[in-house]
Chain A
């Protein structure tokens, strides 16, 4: 079980969090033209890196904040956790 440092609450066990996917994906802006290709990439295409990855997690049984977690997908090492509005 991972040990994740919520930037708002501190170190908590993984079972308080839910996984939210790739944190590097940016939603295209509303009311802007988006090509089919770009939209499909946004909706469906995700990298599955072996190694360092920036992920979203939500502290669902805690402060309910979405946070960013930089984690190694191979070793589960967590390098850094950030608030939703912080950039790596």
Chain B
């Protein structure tokens, strides 16, 4: 296919390298350096999609991030990516793109019927229509809306690409590489500052790439090239293209998204697709430029209507003609630049200037080139459906209210220029109080909030000379303050054309008897009439008007529509724009892919995985693992075809009958040292600690100040001033912070140090009636009899040459020991235990058996210590000292906490002794009572009792102490079952605790 709209010589593209691509199934080609948009226009494709609401044909309106229309579904390396702006997507070999929001295709779109029914879809249509009948919402309205809403389609496949995050610090971050960005970055770099220069587009230079100026006897483009290559050679400067600074956050943190591989057919190995930069800058220089404003007229959304600056960019950068019979509709001098560029390339444009008699260098130049210029003229309406075919134009009266001499002229594109809107998003996000500038009819940054400095046209400065002067100064001044060095550079001479004032005209009145749609927001189909309707219906705040009409709420965030919307509101309300104010600018400035935000934190990378030193042994022995916080713990060790239930039952039974070993490395361990260590424990735990002898362990519970149990565990006195505390796996970090809080802030007079030793010790719990035999084999020289090592005793030992600590403590309720060795020796210890335990039928057991054993013994754990229970609720009231004060004690006097019918932990057994009770079930008196059925308690933990071979659960039950023997129902609404149950003691097995002391 030939490229009918491509010029032979213009542009910065590489004509030696042809690139083929596919759009809507057809093959085309473009050149290296093209965007998808420029390549499509070159091929004469002007229809790319359909609009959001009315499904009107959509073409190209801009040439960059401001593009409201040209969003496509992109297929790149078998990945389907929605809502890619064709104006930003660089062409690569084999690129495939499809139109969105149209069916069956972009040329014939059924949804376009909405266009003819548009009277039925005014602003607020959704709010008015879908309110009734109420029952319709769920089954009728929502499914339909879901089906029709949105543009592209999100892939449901796993994203194979790699995204990275990077943290960076710099002295100056310069956002935008136009004249102001380059000048300020260059000046700062000369002073030795650490500079990051970020440019959103692939090419540096911004407006200098398309303007006819000279700087220091070089063309704008040459100057850019030289400055960039010098900056790149400096070690203190980072220069990044394809990088959008999209958000300005607290304390001068800016976030930038770098598109590393989006312009390539495939991401290279070991290279991310995109990288998100968190940049902490001492100073942020915002040189984000400005975006041309549209003029509003009838059918101004027809494909072929385009920003005049975009048409110029297509000509000068890509050598592409937006049309061959262009109409330039302008209220200022910039439109003339586009017209002159057309003329230079052999195309005859017509200029319609809303101004009566402007006089400036560039107007005179256009006149001397014999360009057809009509002053005091406007476009009334574009004609043509899928592409502009002609335009109704008219003379406009001096008061801009009357149209006369309406005539139709042929044209194939209308380039509009309604003057420039500074891009103030980043400054506004920083907290800058923006102010309205009457000269340019737009908001500009005011007083800085953080360390942001706005430069160039983003600040409303539109002459190159002033921009460069100001930017060199600012770059020098800000960097000098940081580096204390000055290497001043002299301002180059600048040649540019002088502009005259623009016309404050933005919206063409409707001719009598015509009802053209005049669009403000092109992506969300918001027309002048929609905003007028919202105002008639009483919406006053601009934020409300925005939400009611969806003006500026599309993915382009109203880059081209916001100001015209504000103009309209202020016109109708007879206010001035600054009184109306503007809506809040929120990050991101341009859409950022979810992948970039998530970065590497996906799947197993979303949190660290902690493994015990014995992990590889567990793996080799068929352990099925479970996530316990960040730890991986064996849930059970699968034998043959066993399932979880069978495996855990076997393991638990073996502990009760013989001996088992469990990896308890994950328990939190805190080393406590200092002369006041006992005093600290005495204040932290509810029970007494001052008289614990050396070589003894004690069980304790600690509370929060509100009386709720925070954690439990054993603490052992290793030597006079040295204690070893254990915490639950889940609370380990919180308990350490808790201790540090009291030591550093509340009782700094206590001479104690605490440090986490969780990772330093590997732990194995050996439990069961034969555990003493195993221990004796492990430590043949030690006296491990009940006298030598009594319950809650502690001794040191030597495990085949390895130092070990032996604690006689039990979680399973059986005779049990915990052996700790330094982590490096963990695997050695484990293998020795298995080796010597063989003759006693030792088996490893996992967390499921561990739970079974503790539940049937009535030992409370995390599911009972759930942040809602006090010591009494957990039957721990015996541990609460009456004599001494401790953290949270004063709260235990609360009326609710001493109520006679206070909740308490109980045991629950199903009457049929067969049906397992789901955890979380409610306990109620009457299974058939009217909802909401009064809840008496809830089942906190369930197991299959290996001792009695029937289901057993723990529950927290109101008035639990008086409920033993009562019959209730366990209801599980989730599983829709109701189980008749009997309440029993929580100490289901060995209620007197004889086994642990045996």
Contacts and interface: CB of A to CB of B under 8 A. Distances in A.
Interface in B553-612: none
Interface in B594-643: none
Given A34-B890, A39-B890, A20 B741 contact: yes
Nearest to A58: B737
A31 B737 contact: no
B492 interface: no
Interface in B720-773: 737, 740-741, 744-746, 748
Nearest to A18: B737
Given A56-B745, A64-B740, A65-B744, A13 B280 contact: yes
Contacts of B706: 43-44
A2 B891 contact: no
A76 B891 contact: no
Contacts of B230: none
A2 B252 CA distance: 9
A13 B255 CA distance: 14
Interface string A17-31: 010100000011011
B280 A84 contact: no
Contact of B250 (A2, A18, A34, A44): A2
A75 interface: yes
A31 B280 CA distance: 48
Contacts of B885: 30-31
B251 interface: yes
A28 B253 CA distance: 40
A1 B748 contact: no
Please tell me the size bucket of the interface on B: 20 to 34
Given A39-B891, A42-B705, A3 B740 contact: no
Contact of A76 (B251, B744, B746, B884): B251
Given A1-B278, A30-B683, A31-B885, A84 B250 contact: no
Nearest to B705: A43
A44 to B, nearest CB: 7
A13 B169 CA distance: 11
B249 A1 contact: yes
Interface string A70-85: 0000011010000011
Most chain B beta-carbon neighbours within 10 Å: one of A27, A30, A56, A64: A30
A13 B737 CA distance: 19
Contact of B737 (A3, A60, A75, A84): A60
Interface in B836-888: 884-885
Contacts of A56: 745
Please tell me the size bucket of the interface on A: 20 to 34
A2 B251 CA distance: 6
Contacts of B744: 65-66, 84-85
Nearest to B280: A3
B18 to A, nearest CB: 46
A60 B741 CA distance: 11
A28 B891 CA distance: 12
B431 interface: yes
Given A1-B249, A1-B251, A13-B280, A27 B746 contact: yes
B315 to A, nearest CB: 43
Contacts of A13: 167, 280
B563 to A, nearest CB: 28
Contacts of B741: 20, 58, 66
A30 B682 CA distance: 12
B740 A1 contact: no
Contacts of A66: 740-741, 744-745
B250 A76 contact: yes
Given A18-B737, A60-B737, A75 B431 contact: yes
Contacts of B891: 39, 43
Interface in B434-453: 449
A2 B504 CA distance: 42
A3 to B, nearest CB: 4
A83 B201 CA distance: 47
Given A66-B745, A75-B431, A58 B740 contact: yes
Contacts of B251: 1-3, 76, 78
Interface in A37-68: 39, 42-44, 56, 58, 60, 64-66
Contacts of A30: 683, 885
Contacts of B280: 3, 13
A1 B683 contact: no
B430 to A, nearest CB: 11
Interface of B: 167, 249-253, 278, 280, 431, 449, 683, 705-706, 737, 740-741, 744-746, 748, 884-885, 890-891, 893
8 contacts: A2-B250, A2-B251, A27-B705, A34-B890, A39-B891, A43-B706, A43-B891, A65-B740
Interface of A: 1-3, 13, 18, 20, 27-28, 30-31, 34, 36, 39, 42-44, 56, 58, 60, 64-66, 75-76, 78, 84-85
Given A13-B280, A58-B741, 9 more contacts: A1-B250, A1-B278, A2-B251, A27-B746, A31-B884, A39-B891, A43-B705, A58-B737, A85-B744
The 10 closest A-B pairs by CB, nearest first: A3-B251, A30-B885, A84-B744, A76-B250, A66-B744, A31-B885, A1-B253, A39-B890, A84-B745, A43-B706
